Amino acid sequence: LKDSYDVIIIGSGGAGMTAAISAKDAGLNPVIFEKMPVHGGNTMKSSAGMNASATKFQAEQGITDSNELFYNETLAGGKNTNDPELLHYLVDNSASAIDWLDTMGITLNNITVTGGMSVNRTHRPSDGSAVGQYLVKGLYANVMEREIPLFVNSEVKEVVVTDDKASGVKVDFNNEGEITVSSDAVIIATGGFGADLEMVTELAPQLEGYVTTNQPGSTGDGIKMAQAIGAAVVDMDQIQIHPTVHQESSYLITEAIRGEGAILVNQQGERFVNEMETRDNVSAAINALEEGYAYLIFDAGVKDRVKAVNTYIEKGFVQSDETIEALAGQLGMDGATLAQTLTSWNETVASQVDGAFNRQTALNNPLATAPYYAIQIAPGIHHTMGGLKINSNAQVISTEDTVIEGLYAAGEVTGGVHGSNRIGGNAVADIIVFGRQAGVQSASYVQSKE
Ligand code: ADP
């Protein structure tokens, strides 16, 4: 550890590692401080994929998409409350972010859909595995290859300001007490606050009693540290619940299961919602059921296409049987009803018209290959859409509406990109696109001072 670096990055999730790599490639000497014993943050748990429009992989696969469509669908999903400047920046730089990852050996060329999009736009690893672990592994390899120092068990407590400019941090290494490390710029990439249930329920009292899918380090530290030096926040009460969380373990069940064809049924064995609706609407439909939970139902084809299912089976989340009737029996459900639900679903897939709930995507695969599977799920706290106010240069904005010099932020710690409802796959786009921008912009700032 040195007593000074060009730029200090707080947090080693996707946004932090991306910022560090970009800053290094732009000529800076960065350091990453991570408070947990392991790197990766909540990014490690992310499952669906990375949304990006007009990418080379979409073109190769004959998928027609445009930045305008990506923008409009994200804005509609966020109920028109997304920050237009930030959303434009995200969308317009999404394809180049896919290319950038590809040049680093991180290839997301397996494309699916999540709720709230009309075309396949969610880019996943080619083997269908969860995006988070793959991404963290790839980014970490690039951090190591560039010899960027990454210190774990290093909790940043404060951003230091000198002459109105960010000039370093106070950090506690291994609980040995705080020391000051100085720098020309600071990038906050500390993630959200979904693991701080007190903070969550203070901002959104209706979420009392929900489980959280977040790793324990997601406690909003970066938001509090930046607020202490005058930063503004936006949309703090906009907290996303994810519809498909295994309740006993708080484990998120990936949206890719629905994207690859699964349906949701209630305890009676009947569909009750367009499964590809946005997360807020699917969650509300589950909460409106008398039982307050639902089952994801799928077949061996979905299991083969979504590798995460194997993990869910190992963890004991999945019930399965050779026939639909037998599976229904295990779930305490009427076999004839569930069988009828699947028969009509397969007719819907054949006709491509969902008369019951108007589902328009993920209609490609009938659920017809034994064995059949079920996972019981209900909503859980998942993502905090609000956070630090930034501009499209990833600069942190003060409560006086001015730029705080030398201070940058990227990823879930920021607010504005997603508005009041995040589309699945947009968090990974956010951390890569704005992580890169924070790295590049902090570099040009630091170099302009030299
Ligand atoms: P993002 O998706 O925006 O990159 P993540 O949740 O993946 O966010 O990563 C944020 C990381 O920041 C986590 O690993 C978390 O433990 C770490 N972190 C949070 N607060 C601090 C802090 N005060 N000091 C150092 N690291 C922190």
For ligand 1, is residue 156 a contact (CB within 6 Å)? yes
The string of pLDDT tens digits covering residues 46-81 is: 988 999 999 999 999 999 999 999 999 999 999 999
- Are 375 and 367 in contact by the 8 Å Cβ rule? The answer is no
What is the structure's pLDDT at 262?
98
Residue 434: name the closest of 403, 389, 393 by CA: 393
Cα(147) to centroid(ligand 1), Å: 20
- Are 35 and 48 in contact by the 8 Å Cβ rule? The answer is no
- Interface confidence, given as ipTM, is 1.00
Say yes or no to pLDDT of 127 above 90. no
Cα(52) to centroid(ligand 1), Å: 24
Q: Which atom of ligand 1 is nearest to the CA of 171?
A: 24
Rounded Cα distance between 140 and 35, Å, is 16
161 forms bridges with which residues in the sheet? Answer: 166
Rounded Cα distance between 416 and 375, Å, is 33
Helix (H, G, I), strand (E, B) or coil at 100: helix
Q: How many helices and strands (H and E) does the chain possess? A: 15, 19
**450: confidence class by pLDDT, cuts 50, 70, 90:** confident
Residue bearing the CA closest to ligand 1, atom 23: 156
What is the structure's pLDDT at 130?
87
Catalytic residues: 279
What phi and psi, each to the nearest 5 degrees, are found at residue 227? -60, -35
Quickly list H helices, 300-421: 300-305, 308-314, 324-330, 335-351
Cα(380) to centroid(ligand 1), Å: 20
For ligand 1, is residue 220 a contact (CB within 6 Å)? no
Pocket test for ligand 1, best of 8, 9, 12 (most atoms within 8 A of CB): 12
For ligand 1, is residue 193 a contact (CB within 6 Å)? no
Length of the chain: 450
Residue 190: name the closest of 165, 164, 163, 214 by CA: 214
Q: Which atom of ligand 1 is nearest to the CA of 11?
A: 12
For ligand 1, is residue 194 a contact (CB within 6 Å)? no
Cα(290) to centroid(ligand 1), Å: 37
- Are 107 and 126 in contact by the 8 Å Cβ rule? The answer is yes
The pTM score is: 0.94
What is the structure's pLDDT at 86?
98
**218: confidence class by pLDDT, cuts 50, 70, 90:** very high
**343: confidence class by pLDDT, cuts 50, 70, 90:** very high
Residue bearing the CA closest to ligand 1, atom 13: 41
